[in-house]
Every structure is written in C-alpha cells, then in structure tokens.
Amino acid sequence: MSLSVSGVLHDVESLAQRFASQRRQRSGARELSTDDFAAVAETGFHQLLVPEEMGGLWSSTALSTRAVAEAISSLAAGDSSLALILSMEPVAMFVTGWLADFREEEADATWLRQRQKFLGLLGAGTGAWGVMLSERDGVIRSTAKQDSNGEWSISGVKSSGSGWDHVSFMLTNAIPEGEDRPELFVLDLQNRTKLPGVTVNRVWDGHGMTASGSHAVVLDNALVHRVAWPGRQDLINRMSSSPTIGSRLAPFVGIVRAAVAEATEHVQARGGTRSSLASVEWARAQASGWLVEQAFEGVLHTTEIGASSEDFVRMAHMAKLAVGEQAEHTLQHISGALGGLTYSQSSPFGWWHTDVRAMAFIRPTLAETVDHLGGRLVS
C-alpha cells in the first residue's frame, strides 16, 4: 500500500494519542525506548523528508514543510522529548542542502551521490537523524583532519546531542585543518557500541526534556563523513524560506495545544473557574496559547507563499522569541488558573512547563535571537 501525506499524518496522530495515554509514565522519564522510534518509523514519518523522486513524500519547501511541522507538533502532545529529537531531522536534511530546491545539473556530482545515499538510507528505515552542533560559549573549537586514505575524523567536545541514545546518524560540525570556517560532517551511530573515539562525558540531567538524551560528547579522532560540496550553501542561501523554523517551533506548539486542551477539561469539570484571579489567569492562558498558534501559522504560511528571504529571516527570529515566551506564559497562567494540582508530579503541567523552558534555549539561542532583532549594541 502506497503512503500518502494525509495517511502518515493520521497514523502519527494515532501514535501521539497512544503516547498521551501513557503520559503519567512518560512524564519525567529519563530515557525513551527503541520501540518508540520503531513506532514512529512505522507511521511513515521519515518518508515526509524523502524526496518524491526517491519514493518519498517530500515535494518542495513550499509544499511539504507544513506536513512535517504538524507531524512533529502532534508527537509533542504525546511525548515532548521524542518530538524534540525528531524536530532535528528536518534541520539535518536541510542544512546539508539535501532538501533544498535545486536543479540536478547545477549540483556537484559527489554531493548528489552522497545525497542519494543518505536520503536513501532514511527512506529505507535505517533510523532517525540528530543534530550535534553546540559547543561551549557557542564557539566551534572542534577540528577535523583527513588521512592519506581520504578518511575524515573529528576531535572536540560537543555540548548537546539530542537523541544520542537512539538516532542512527548525527550531523555535527568542525573546522577542517587548513581551513578557517566550520564544515558539516555525518557521524554514523548505527553500531554505536563499537564506535572508537566517542565518549559520553556528561549524561543529560536537565529539568526539562528529561528523556531527550541530550548528552555532552567527547570526540577523539572519531570517524565521520564530510558533507560534500561547499557550494551547496549557495542553494540554501538563495531560497526565500526554510523548513527548519516550523520544525523547531512545532514541539512548543504541540505542548501548548495539549496543555490548553487538558486545562480546558479541568475547568469544564469544575463548572468554571473558582475565583476572579483564576478567571483572569485562565483568560491569559488561552490568549498566550492563541499567540503561539498565530506565530506558528505565520511561519508556515510565509514558507508556503515564498516571501523575500530578508522578511522570512526576520519573521523566523520574531516567531522564535514569541513562541518561546508565550509557550512559557501559557503554562504559567494555567498553573495560576488551576492551582496546586499543576505542581503534582503525576500532573503533566509542571513537566510541560520545564519542557518549554528548556527548548527556549535551543539553537538559535535566545540571546542570538534577541541580538538579531535588537540590532547593534551601542558601545
């Protein structure tokens, strides 16, 4: 039976509902299971990121971004950490240029073969992709070198690799010897138990996104594949928009949707709010949730209509700031409206609150976003 976008979204929603029924067990869990990722693969989620000419469902940035983002937001309502990890896959596929809109005759042959290989593996069900780019203070210090056989290896310390315990490939970066800027590399984790030069030196112990496995990793001459053809960046730069922003915002949106829906049930079961303060807080929670939805829709709509690149970049930063802040406000106001029950560990609201706070610091960082919108600082 052939896959369709609507069919995949239906199956993803069904899986998210199954995860949501396990919410009490999943809230605060420190790890996900291999079965979770297998279940996601069975829905056809990864096919949303495989081009149509390779048997997948990806058509173009304008036509396919919404489906990917909505799938991730659905999963976030069931399991925040899982959705965070999966939101990195579109980022990996796009910053490599593999999902950029381009004509084959203008691309480098080696890069095309590499694209065919890795997207083919994604379509064949070899597993999810993660992104491991962050380093201390946001400065890339990792270095890469090439041996006499043409093989590449990386050495450095990466601050966070969400999904480390379960993804099959991790996109990372380093500065190649003799060059002055970071390049992208692929770390193959399919056989992670026999991976020389790779050590987890700090297990993720964050208050939010507790099961994301966002460990710090030391690479010591770890073997990698360099993403070919620096000219691929020109393909990305000339595009007016990107699927990465919608995907990054999607986990926030899924959590907020789930939180508002759950809170609505509590309010209705009580027959309304119990005080003037609770009424005000509940109104604010709904307003903040609505603003999250509007920012998300704005990004997706702008991606679809192909606004100018400058307009899209500014909107992306605005949306990042607005969604991060309003998602946190939504959960905070829900706590004010419902009271003490939201602080129970058996309640999802406290966990959701820490999850959105954790995500607000993910690349691009909050500081970077504010600096971009605020312009140059006066010395």
| Residue 369 pLDDT | 59
Rg (CA), the chain: 21
| Residue 59 pLDDT | 96
Q: How far apart are CA 3 and CA 71, in angstroms?
A: 15
Mean pLDDT of the chain: 91
Q: Contacts for 261-270 with beta carbons within 8 Å, 24 or more apart? A: 262/348, 262/349, 263/334, 263/337, 263/338, 263/349, 266/338, 266/341, 267/337, 267/338
Q: How far apart are CA 248 and CA 238, in angstroms?
A: 21
| Residue 362 pLDDT | 64
Q: Are 260 and 282 in contact (CB under 8 A)?
A: no
| Residue 367 pLDDT | 60
Residue 312 has pLDDT above 90, yes or no: no
| Residue 130 pLDDT | 94
| Residue 366 pLDDT | 57
> Model confidence over 261-287: pLDDT tens digits?
999 999 999 999 989 999 999 999 999
pLDDT tier for residue 1 given thresholds of 50, 70 and 90:
low
| Residue 118 pLDDT | 97
> Model confidence over 241-268: pLDDT tens digits?
788 999 999 999 999 999 999 999 999 9
| Mean pLDDT along residues 133-155 | 93
Residue 5 has pLDDT above 80, yes or no: yes
- The DSSP annotation for 253-307 comes to HHHHHHHHHHHHHHHHHHTS-SSHHHHHHHHHHHHHHHHHHHHHHHHHHHHHHT-
| Residue 28 pLDDT | 87
| Mean pLDDT along residues 65-85 | 97
| Mean pLDDT along residues 194-203 | 90
Cα–Cα separations (whole angstroms), residue 57 to 48, 89, 220: 5, 15, 38
Residue 150 has pLDDT above 90, yes or no: yes
Q: How far apart are CA 138 and CA 53, in angstroms?
A: 37
pLDDT tier for residue 316 given thresholds of 50, 70 and 90:
confident
Least confident range of 66-80, 195-209, 328-342, 365-379: 365-379
Higher pLDDT among residues 176 and 360, named by residue: 176
Q: How far apart are CA 338 and CA 350, in angstroms?
A: 12
Residue 371 has pLDDT above 70, yes or no: no
| Mean pLDDT along residues 143-157 | 96
All structural domains of the chain: 5-128 (1.10.540.10), 132-229 (2.40.110.10), 240-374 (1.20.140.10)
Q: How far apart are CA 366 and CA 363, in angstroms?
A: 8
Q: What is the DSSP letter of 338?
A: H
% of the chain beyond a pLDDT of 90:
74
Higher pLDDT among residues 290 and 367, named by residue: 290
Residue 197 has pLDDT above 90, yes or no: yes
